[in-house]
Amino acid sequence: MKITIKKARKKDFKKVLGLINELAKFEKLEPPGKKEAKRLFRDAFGEKAKFKILTAAEGKNILGYAFYFFTYSSFLAKPTLYLEDLFITERSRNLGIGKLFFKELLRIALKNKCGRMEWCVLDWNKDAIEFYNKLGAKPLSDWIYYRKVL
């Protein structure tokens, strides 16, 4: 099995959107509607892209994706690569795809002179937490994430 991690192309979007819907089901959330899908496409592939997408593919089959963007650390005075979503189809888990994604994300972070990478994980997603711990990532116990929906 030859799995490649690469930058998503416009023609990949329909398959990525299918995986987003699969993630929504996994997380028991409402998937994006048509308006949100249009915004996702524009914000990923438009002239002023707001985030980037990596895909994991075996041939023409997309097995997973990672959405990321850059924030900035005022204390490090360096960018931070923020991983918004990492999703691998259930049938493709435990094949090393997560490690391939993190290897590429680390390469991108270093290329962009980032001081760190950050992401969140749902507290009930024990498999993901175990995977992140095996990577040597450390949970931040002294920070509380807030959200204000607009």
| Domain residue ranges of the chain, discontinuous segments joined by + | 4-134
> Which residues, 6+ apart, have CB-to-CB distance to 64 below 8 Å?
19, 55, 56, 86, 87, 88, 89, 92, 97, 101
| Edge-first strand listing for the sheet containing 116-119 | 4-7, 52-58, 61-73, 78-88, 116-119
58: confidence class by pLDDT, cuts 50, 70, 90: very high
125 phi and psi angles, rounded to 5 deg: -85, 75
What are the tens digits of pLDDT across the range 105-149?
A: 999 999 999 999 999 999 999 999 999 999 999 999 999 989 999
Q: Say which of 65, 68, 72, 132 is annotated catalytic.
A: 132
Q: For residues 15 and 102, what is the distance between their CA atoms, to the nearest angstrom? A: 21
The fold adopted by the segment(s) 4-134 is: Aminopeptidase (3.40.630)
The first and second tokens of residue 49, run together, are 């892209």
Residue 1 has pLDDT above 90, yes or no: no
Does the pLDDT of residue 22 top 90, yes or no?
Answer: yes
Task: Answer yes or no: 146 catalytic.
Answer: no
